[in-house]
Chain A
Amino acid sequence: MSSSATPAVAAKPPSPAEPVVSLVEASKAFAGVHALREVSLELFAGETHALVGENGAGKSTLIKLLAGVHQPDGGQLQIGGEPVFLSGPGDAAHRGIAVIYQEPTLFPDLSVAENVFIGRQPLRPGRRIDHRAMDRAVNEVFARLGVRIDPERIARGLSIAEQQLVEIAKALTRSARVLIMDEPTAALSPIEVQRLFRVVEALRSEGAAVVFVSHRLAEVFEICQRVTVLRDGQRTLSRPLEGLSETDLIRAMVGRDVLTEAHEQHAPSRTVLEVQRLTREGVFRDISFEVGAGEVVALAGLVGSGRTEVARAIFGVDRYDAGTVRIDGQKLKRGSPTAAMSAGVGLVPEDRRQQGLVMEQSLARNIALASLRKLRRAGVIRARTEREFATDWAKRLQVRYSRVTAPVSTLSGGNQQKVVLAKWLARKPSLLIVDEPTRGIDVGTKSEVHRLISQLARDGVAVLVISSELPEVLTVADRVLVMREGQLVAGLTREQATEEAIIAAGTAAALPSATRKTPS
């Protein structure tokens, strides 16, 4: 199969004992927060290596070290036993390390073949691109992968599965020795997952070292030979998969003291939010649930399961195709954040820097932003009123700041989040949706934010929290709803909700019972 046009993966197998690529006690910190601490990883030719861990355990950072996106602060990266310094993603690719991200980055306007060969198209004399050779090479690779995508169609509109295959084709034509796949199955249908696995298996048997990141443990056992578990930036397990059970892996992922902060149960009074059969085609479907006044409900599930999208649809940022949203019994107009806001809904978005705050503006301006209607006198907003209003709310939420006129960009992440919360609390909402309330916030401030959420519920606000951090979910929530692949799959009470139960509900991979045979 390996003609000159399609170089094969790793022609010469290195000695089995020696890793192709390894990280030796690598550490990486961002702004003083350790993302990885002395983590070692050995990747062997002809082996698929699973990398598992909870969100925030350090998997992404580890991948970015291997991909040359980040450089380790301590420890080193070795290729073939030699220490190397990767200057960037291009350097890593050049050295045979290919990364396939969960959402591949293709050029939507270029053809599939060009996406595979961009910057290194086969040439004819006179440095002209040999389009025919390019298409032929891409067809050959696709034939080897057992897929049929027209090399001349443009990449726009390809499904995620097809985009991943294009990325794999890119890696193959570059003769990559190491193929890193970051949650490749997250957005795939069971059939597409099976096809991807056949491809991975074929590459592995040809001598590639594959890294497979997945939250679905069943998949890990299906195609991996070795596993490394990360927890809080450290390696807790790294060994051949043989002899391990799912329970062993979950224990290695979770096995830490669950935050002991006492949870106070809130008894819901009347229903505030009522969502019925909400559907956005291709994103989520048939979502129905209620949140009562004084209740904290958490929406859990993997990244990409549709949690954030549901929240955006409720708030009116995105449209939905079917279903209804009611606030206090009143049907909410779809696709209108203004209507949602006047009905008393607040949304604290996941990405506070981009969507929650005007970073260059002052603390006072940001806090007052959602309450301007209330503050104006004869249509005019006086700076002094604004400042006094903001100071009051900043005090209530214990925001640590120098001056209310200082830009919010000068605050720490935790205090920025409090400013966003203050902005919405000042409107006295009846429903507050908080997406990832403590992402990128240090541990100390985290518990303050949790306390604030509890306080809100006590004051009678209905709170919907979206969080990927299970300890956080267990700390704040009265009820836990679990989403998987766009559907609501479990509703757990306070008593039923454990980390294991949530992981099990959120990851149970819906694989077809029989593996189909395919001629290739």
Chain B
Amino acid sequence: MTAATTQTPPDRGEPIPGTDALVNPRTLVDTVLRARTFGIVVILVLFVIVTWLLQSSFLSGSNIRFVLSDATIYALVAIGETFVVLTRNVDLSVGSVVGLSAYVSANQFQAHPGIAIPLVFAVGLGVGLACGAVSGLITAIGRVPSLVVTLAMLYVIRGVDTIIVGPGQVVANSLPNSFINIFQATILGIPDLAWVVAAITAAAAFYLRSYRSGRDLYAIGSDPAAARLAGIPIGRRVFGAFVLSGAIAGIAGVIWATQYNTIDATAATGLELQIIAAVVVGGVAIFGGSGSVAGAVLGALLLQTINVALNVLGVPSLWTTPIAGFLLLVAISMDRGIQLRLSAALRKRRAHLGA
């Protein structure tokens, strides 16, 4: 039989005029979702073109390199955050984790002169894993809202950082050149770090799409009650997402140490809010269930591009924060508006079909 309910049943009179656009909800819903990611790309391109027209030096090789290497750390942390947000949770502690990991890993060169660089990365990873595991355990087993748990962890980790660092700091010239220059090379004019992050993005996207545990994350965020009925191990998955977010933030901390020359107790303060902004602007639903890592990475790239572009155009740096906030509002209102319109359209369509 071919008469699916998406079509007007033949015996209910002639098709209702004006409903043609709504006949197949797949096109409606999917178009909207695709348009969401596509929209970021359009805004990004527009922004770049306009800035370039106003200030042609914007597209210089060095500027592109600068934007990309700056955006990559944000993009990397945004990937981990996406995993958490998909499950209808949030990780506010990533900024503190990056800060702690950056100091602890850089400090290894003073504590253990001649230490191997991979070992330093392992230390950063370890710091991140431990922080993520604590947040994850309390959220998943204690059933405490992650907003509160990770807010507490934000302060706890930053506090530990401050105590360890004290008034001191790590300066670049105390670090070996091999460490500082590890991500200074470019391949095809693009920083090697950007390639690495692109590869990680692809891997994360592949995982989320092609593995049961990845799909479980979406299911949990989409409808936690239904997820429980479907027998999905919610606690384990949420824990895993937090551990991953922590681990990525830990690695990002080490990269931070290679990029910024001075690391003190305030390194990466407030980063978490920029990350969440990037994730939401990138189209990941703040209440979980939908979105992609590619979107989050694009969101991070867009926010950084805007930062640099405004700078290049001579707009006072004071302006960049409110503009980023405004963009966030636009993104959220757009999502909400689309959602309301969509459900109203579907309700009316059903009324016409007499269901």
Contact = CB atoms under 8 A, between A and B. Distances in A.
Nearest to B345: A157
Interface in A279-321: 281-283
Interface residues of A, number: 46
Nearest to A165: B5
Interface in B17-36: 25-26, 28-30, 33
Contacts of A237: none
B337 interface: no
Contacts of B218: 107, 109-110
A282 B347 CA distance: 6
Contact of B29 (A114, A119, A154, A518): A154
A342 to B, nearest CB: 28
Interface centre among A153, A158, A188, A518 (most CB of B within 10 A): A153
Nearest to B346: A157
A121 B215 contact: yes
B187 interface: no
A518 B1 contact: yes
Nearest to A155: B222
Contacts of A114: 215, 219
A118 B1 contact: no
A489 interface: no
A107 B354 CA distance: 24
B27 to A, nearest CB: 9
A282 B216 CA distance: 33
B231 A90 contact: yes
A150 interface: yes
Contact of B232 (A89, A119, A161, A520): A119
A468 B143 CA distance: 37
B285 to A, nearest CB: 8
A123 B215 CA distance: 13
B87 to A, nearest CB: 12
Nearest to A147: B4
A82 interface: no
A382 B211 CA distance: 60
Interface residues of B, number: 46
Contacts of B15: none
B230 interface: yes
Interface centre among B227, B230, B347 (most CB of A within 10 A): B230
Given A118-B215, A129-B215, A192-B5, A107 B226 contact: yes
Contacts of A106: 223, 226
A270 interface: no
A519 B2 CA distance: 9
A110 B215 contact: yes
Contacts of B212: 119, 121, 123, 127, 129
Contact of B28 (A123, A157, A189, A282): A157
A161 B5 contact: yes
A90 B25 CA distance: 31
B336 interface: no
Interface in B185-236: 209-212, 215-216, 218-219, 221-223, 225-227, 229-232
Nearest to B30: A153
Interface in A330-345: none
Contacts of A240: none
Contact of B210 (A107, A129, A148, A189): A129
A162 interface: yes
A188 B355 contact: yes
Contacts of A188: 355
A217 to B, nearest CB: 22
Contacts of B222: 107-110
A160 interface: yes
B290 interface: yes
B163 interface: no
A518 B2 CA distance: 9
A131 B231 CA distance: 21
Given A110-B219, A157-B28, A519 B350 contact: no
A520 B3 CA distance: 11
Interface in A98-135: 105-110, 114, 118-119, 121, 123, 127-129, 131
A466 to B, nearest CB: 22
Contact of B290 (A109, A128, A153, A189): A109
A153 B6 CA distance: 12
B347 A118 contact: no
B229 A89 contact: yes
A191 interface: yes
Nearest to B229: A89
Interface in B277-329: 285, 289-290
Given A129-B211, A282-B351, A119 B230 contact: yes
Contacts of A108: 222-223, 289
Contacts of B11: 191, 512, 516
A160 B350 CA distance: 10
Interface centre among B348, B353, B355 (most CB of A within 10 A): B355
B289 A189 contact: no
B342 interface: yes
Q: Which 4 A-B pairs have the closest CB atoms?
A: A282-B351, A109-B289, A153-B26, A148-B4
Interface of B: 1-6, 9, 11-12, 25-26, 28-30, 33, 209-212, 215-216, 218-219, 221-223, 225-227, 229-232, 285, 289-290, 342-343, 346-348, 350-351, 353-355
13 contacts: A105-B229, A106-B226, A107-B218, A109-B289, A114-B215, A118-B216, A129-B210, A131-B210, A149-B6, A150-B26, A156-B29, A189-B354, A282-B347
